[in-house]
Amino acid sequence: MLRPGRTRELLIALFLLGALVFAPPLLLIFNKATRFLGIPALYFYLFAVWAALIALVALAVERRHADDDEAGPEMPSREHGQVTGGPTDA
Amino acid sequence: MLSGPVIITVALLYLCLLFAIAYYGDKRADQGRSLIANPTIYALSIAVYCTSWTFYGSVGRAASTGVDFLPIYLGPTLTFIVAWFVIRKIIRISKVNRTTSIADFIASRYGKSFALGGLVTIIAVVGILPYISLQLKAISTSFSVLLHYPEIVMPSTSSTVFLHDTGLYVALIMALFAILFGTRHIDASEQHEGMVAAIAFESVVKLVAFLAVGLFVTFGLYGGFGEIFAQAEASGALRRLFTIDGVAAHTSWITLTLLAMGAIVVLPRQFQVLVVENVDERHLRKAMWLFPLYLLLINIFVLPIAFAGLLLFPGGGVDADTFVLAVPMKEQQPMLALIAFIGGLSAATGMIIVETIALATMVCNDLVMPLLLRVGRLHLSDRRDLASILLMIRRATIILVVLLGYAYVRLIGESYALVTIGLVSFAAAMQFVPAIVGAIYWKGATKAGALAGLTGGFLVWIYTLLLPSFARSGWISQSFVEDGPLGVALLKPYALFGLEGLDPISHATIWTMLVNGGLLVGVSLMTSQSVIERSQAVQFVDIFKRTAEAARVWRGRATIGDLRQLLGRFIGEARANAAFARFERESQRDLHDRGPADSDIVSYSERQLAGAIGAASARIMVASVLREEMHDIDQVMQILDEASQLVVYSRQLEQKSRELEAATTELRAANERLKELDKLKDDFVATVSHEVRTPLTSIRSFSEILRDNPDLDQEQRQEFVSIIVQESERLSRLINDILDLAKMEAGTSEWHMADLAPRAVIEQALAATAGLFAKAHHISLETRIAADLPPIRADADRLTQVIVNLISNAVKFCAQKDGRIELEAWQDAGFLRVDVKDNGIGIAKADQQRIFERFQQAGNILTDKPQGTGLGLPISRQILQRFGGDIWVESELGKGATFSFRVPLSRSAAEGAVTFEREVAVD
């Protein structure tokens, strides 16, 4: 689904997305006193987006991790996340 | 069933369990089978972020302002998305620098500054105190609420007698636990594995407890989320909590998110568990999603519990901060209430333990010890058992901090809700954020900038948050908050410079960040870094670029061959081999180049090397081969200092060689000049010989004719003799001229300088040349001498010589028919200017410079008969230069020539003229 080696970009994109969806302008769309599935719209929105964001982060970091594991025992040089294991350096 | 002794027993049993876990954790660590080398434990330990403030306070805030509590957890979620870049960088830097606290981190980055470390420590202690007091308050409040089961009675601590206040005992027990967990022994890495294990366990307990209450309320009391919210909506009044409204609420939302984004890293306890206690930075990967998930889970039931509380206690007689306890109590669930109490207790204890340990480490390492070590009288640096002193300081700090926290809650805390107190601390911790961001991303951030930023931000924090809280508790007049200090409305601490309409926390955050960040950037741009600052800055910012190698370096093992090679590099291969052979003999061992280097051979090599390059350098060199971490950054700094001295030295050398080069250039130029002069001298001699030989030859030949022909007739004899006389005169004139010029050039001729009247000099010269005109009847002379010429400063004879020279030249080269010579003298801008003009053959442009050089005459020297000695003009020039004047010629071939010279007027005359002009001007 995602090209490998893009974890870094993906995480930064998710961060920006999170900063955007949790901030007032977008938040205000759901800032209504109505309920969705019995839950106030704002609450539902926040928790749903939050959960989705966490799931995406987990997917992003653990997907690469799983690849590493499949590749057999880690090379020593990967111990510090320097090479391909995990997101690349800042 | 919930009597005091039961609750206390359960609480103490729980604490004992904690201690057992911590003890087990430490034991496993000692055995090398770490309990916490596990990403899940790491993520759970980070959840120490959720304190009793989360456990009780979130519900309280939700009950009053709805979803407003959530930014405190969304912020960390955002930060953790980029944790792999930001937090891992901090972890890596801290591991390399052996950082033990956030104060250490900041101090280390800005040049190992003691002042900065101390400042951060003070801010941390002052800022975090309210937070600790909040935990104490939560424990004692929840205890008293639970104590009254089945009634629900709100405690009123203000009436409690000091010694009967549970808060005090809670505080003391907490201090005891913190001491037991955190200061059992001094560890170089400041890691407390047992404590981390206990904290992770506490995180599980508080989550389970909160989820238990939440599930009971949501699905036991009500038929799920929908029903609670439906009832809330039906009640009407609670509908307002479904939304956030108003600019203030939106600003608050954003600032709370930002505060929490920073706090998750820079709160001392978060820094402790995230960075200092981290055993493997790969653990961060799982924590990146597991910790936010924890936050999500612990918050899911906050709103249902809050609404249930509001629905169950509509009168408002129950503090919303105690809903987590009060709701189960109201529903006759003592077991659940006890679980909730334990959950709250775990949340509070976890925070207090980690926070006080972190603060104690800071106070000890960055404030007290540096001070003690500076007091020379104590001779602390000579003592061997510093560990016991360290432990003592830390224990004392823990007790002090906890008691101060207790004092704060007694004096001030009553007037605040839990969340507000916590946020005051968040805002204080936020002051570290600019310095940290500058530390890891901006090499240009300077120590002065960090100091200014932290100080400024902290002072604004005191003014906008701490002082008003004192006002609330009655220490300062309430008018300080309402009307501003001394009635100056612009300085109202909650509406500084007219920034109104915000809640105090947002207001303070905006101002502190503005001042803090502004000063950090501004002062950094205006100041410069010391050597150590710069090297630390580079190390911090470029940590990943450098440790790609260093990481490999750490794990690698050196071989004996490496050491031999290293030694050979510095002392020569033969001596290195000899040294190793000696070691083999002495220790009766066989050394194989591929064998691993053990500590004996390492220290032996180091000693050998130290003889060559000094101990400190040897240490570094061996360490580089050993690929072990440098244990002491001071040593690196020492090397750096030496290196910088070398740089200075080599700069001096460069400077010297530049100077040498300049001197060489000068020498070369002088040499060129000498060569030229030498050539000139040769030319001169050659020319002189030529000039002298010509008359000599004719004198000699005519003399020989006279000697060999005695029968020459009288007339002819007369003619020859007169030629001989002429040529002799010419010769003596030439020799006189040469001598004259030589004297002048050597500066040995005598000068009789005096103030002269120009007209007299010119007339004298004219008289001297009258004979010439008597012979040459075809030449007319016209003189125009300006009237009242001011005196000049010159030597009369010499000046006469110049004028005679010019006139006789003019006569020589004048037109054969109707020759006209004009002599003109006038005053020209402080000089006497004399022009001698003839209408003769003129001088070609190319010759106009040459004629002022010795023996150079216009025209072809070989074909034309010389018309003079060729020294007249050079001599004239010498004379005039001596007087401070000059000489030049203007001419065109065939149209005559004008020789001009000028001589400065005598100074007194010039001054007189100026004075005269002035007087005229005044009149």
Q: What is the pLDDT of residue B185?
A: 63
Q: Are residues B240 and B385 in the same domain?
A: yes
Q: Which pLDDT score, from 0 to 100, does residue B31 have?
A: 79
Is the model more confident about B464 or about B114? B464
CATH number of the domain bearing residue B664: 1.10.287.130
Interchain proximity A43–B257, CB inside 8 Å: no
Confidence of residue B796 (pLDDT cuts 50, 70, 90): confident
Q: Is the pLDDT of residue B177 over 60?
A: yes
A65:B285 CB<8 A? yes
Task: Please tell me the predicted confidence (pLDDT) of residue B914.
Answer: 47
Mean pLDDT of B876-889: 86
Disruptive mutation site among B42, B92, B242, B541 for chain A (greatest number of A CBs within 10 Å): B242
Per-residue pLDDT, B548: 40
Distance (Å, rounded) from C-alpha B498 to C-alpha B326?
41
Are both B760 and B853 inside the same structural domain? yes
Cβ-defined contact of A54 to B85 (cutoff 8 Å): no
Tell whether B714 and B848 lie within a shared domain: no
Q: Indicate whether B296 pLDDT > 90.
A: yes
Predicted local distance difference test score (pLDDT) of residue A5: 60
Chain B residues inside the 8 Å CB shell of A51: 296
Rounded CA-CA distance B216/B207 in Å is 14
Contacts of A12 in chain B (CB under 8 A): 82, 85
B275 shares a domain with B407? yes
- Say yes or no: B714 and B796 in one domain: no
- The per-residue b/e assignment along B274-297, b for 16 or more CB within 10 angstroms, e otherwise, is bbbbbbebbbbbbbbbbbbbbbbe
Per-residue confidence (pLDDT) for residue A79, from 0 to 100: 37
Q: Is the pLDDT of residue B160 over 70?
A: no
Q: Which chain B residues have a beta carbon less than 8 Å from that of A40?
A: 229, 242-243
Quick: pLDDT tens for B709-726.
888 888 888 888 888 888
Average pLDDT, chain B: 79
For residues B101 and B117, give the distance between their C-alpha atoms in angstroms, rounded to a whole number: 10
pLDDT score at B512 = 92
Instruction: Give pLDDT, residue B203.
Output: 92
Question: Is the pLDDT score of B385 beyond 70?
Answer: no
pLDDT at residue B190, as a whole number: 61
Residue B563 has pLDDT above 80, yes or no: no
Q: Is residue B641 part of a domain?
A: no
Mutant choice from A11, A20, A57 vs B, greatest count of B C-beta within 10 A: A57
pLDDT of residue B54 exceeding 80, the answer is yes
Q: What is the pLDDT of residue B580?
A: 84
Decide if pLDDT at B208 tops 90: yes
- Give the alpha-carbon dihedral of B538, B543, B545, B550, to 10 degrees: 110
Chain B residues within an 8 Å CB radius of A47: 296, 300
Taking CA–CA distances from A55, the nearest residue in chain B reads B289
Q: With pLDDT > 90 as the criterion, what percentage of chain B qualifies?
A: 8
State residue B283's pLDDT score. Answer: 87
Residue B861 in this model has a pLDDT that exceeds 80: no
Model confidence at B496: pLDDT above 50: yes
Residue A90, classified by CB atoms within 10 Å of its CB into exposed (0-12), middle (13-18) or buried (19+), is middle
Interface test with B, best of A39, A63, A77 (most B CBs within 10 A): A39
* Assigned domain for B67 exists: yes
Q: Which residues of A touch B250 (CB under 8 A)?
A: 24, 28
Residue of A nearest to B256 (CA): A23
User: What pLDDT was estimated at residue B243?
Assistant: 75
The pLDDT, as a whole number, for residue B774 is 74
Q: DSSP string of B291-344?
A: HHHHHHHHHHTHHHHHHHHHHH-TTS-S-GGGHHHHHHHHTT-HHHHHHHHHHH
> Average pLDDT of chain A?
69
pLDDT 10s digits, B565-597:
777 766 667 778 888 888 888 777 777 777 766
In a domain, B311, yes or no: yes
**Listed ranges B217-231, B577-591, B683-697; the one with the highest mean pLDDT:** B217-231
Q: What percent of chain A has pLDDT over 90?
A: 9
Chain segment B513-558, per-residue pLDDT in tens: 999 999 999 998 888 877 667 777 777 887 777 544 333 333 335 6
What's the pTM value of the predicted model, to 2 decimals?
A: 0.62
Considering only residues 294 to 353 of chain B, which have any Cβ-Cβ distance to chain A shorter than 8 Å?
Answer: 296, 300, 303
Q: Which residues of B touch A82 (CB under 8 A)?
A: 548, 551
Final residue of a structural domain among B400, B422, B444: B422
Question: pLDDT, tens digit, for every residue of B313-347?
Answer: 877 677 778 888 888 888 888 888 888 889 988 88
Asked if B324 and B213 count as a contact pair (C-beta separation under 8 A), the reply is yes
Same domain, B733 and B755: no
Please give the pLDDT value at position A52. Answer: 92
What are the chain A neighbours of B233 within 8 Å (beta carbons)? 33, 35
Interface of A with B (CB under 8 A): 8, 11-12, 14-15, 18-19, 22-24, 27-28, 31-33, 35, 37-43, 46-47, 50-51, 53-55, 57-58, 61-62, 65, 76-77, 79-82, 86-87, 89-90
Q: Name the least confident of B32-46, B126-140, B909-923.
A: B909-923
Is residue B545 within 8 Å of residue B93, measured between CB atoms?
Answer: no
**Mean pLDDT of the region A70-79:** 37
Cβ count near B739 (within 10 Å): 11
Give the pLDDT confidence score for residue B552 in this predicted structure: 33
Q: For B598-645, how does the pLDDT look when each residue is reduced to its tens digit (9 = 90+)?
A: 667 777 777 676 655 555 556 666 666 665 444 444 555 555 555 666
B889 and B802 within one domain:
yes
Residue B333 is assigned to a structural domain of this protein = yes
Asked if B710 and B829 sit in the same domain, the reply is: no
Q: Which parts of A1-90 fold into alpha helices (H)?
A: 7-21, 24-27, 41-70
**Domain boundary at B724, B741, B758, which?**
B741
B440 is a domain residue: no
Q: Which of B207-221, B650-664, B736-750 shows the lowest per-residue confidence on average (mean pLDDT)?
A: B736-750
Whether B459 is in a domain gets the answer no
Model pLDDT, residue B231: 81
Per the document, the length of chain B is 923
Looking at the fold, whether B731 and B774 belong to one and the same domain comes out as no
* pLDDT the model gives residue B844: 81
Using one digit for the tens of pLDDT, what is the confidence trace for B416-442?
555 667 788 888 989 999 999 988 888
HSE-up (13 A, CA, CB side) for residue B92: 29
Cα–Cα distances in angstroms (integers) from residue B169 to residues A17, A53, B20, B133, B339, in the given order: 47, 43, 21, 13, 21
Is the sign of the CA dihedral B459, B456, B120, B130 positive or negative? positive
Angstrom distance (rounded) from CA B356 to CA B133: 12
Instruction: Please tell me whether residues B861 and B909 are part of one structural domain.
Output: yes
What is the band of B856 on the pLDDT scale with cuts at 50, 70, 90? low
Nearest residue, CB atoms, B292 vs list A12, A54, A87: A54
Instruction: Choose between B785 and A70: higher pLDDT.
Output: B785
Tell me, yes or no, whether B613 and B688 share the same domain.
Answer: no
Query: Which residue has better confidence, B354 or A82?
Result: B354
Residues B846 and B726 reside in one and the same domain:
no
Please check whether residue B720 lies inside any domain of the structure: yes
- B257: chain A residues, CB-CB within 8 Å: 22-23
Residue of A nearest to B224 (CA): A38
Phi-psi region of B501 (alpha: psi -120 to 50; beta: other; left: phi over 0): left
Which domain does B681 fall in, by range?
647-741
What pLDDT digit, counting tens, does each position of B728-764 carry? 888 888 888 778 777 777 777 777 888 888 888 888 8
Answer yes or no: are the C-beta atoms of B901 and B873 closer than 8 Å. Answer: no
Q: What is the CATH number of the domain that holds B793?
A: 3.30.565.10
Across the interface, whether the CB atoms of A11 and B84 are under 8 A apart is answered yes
Domain end among B369, B394, B422: B422
Quote the CA–CA distance of B573 and B577 in Å, as a whole number.
6
Residue B909 lies in a domain: yes
**Number of domains, chain B:** 4
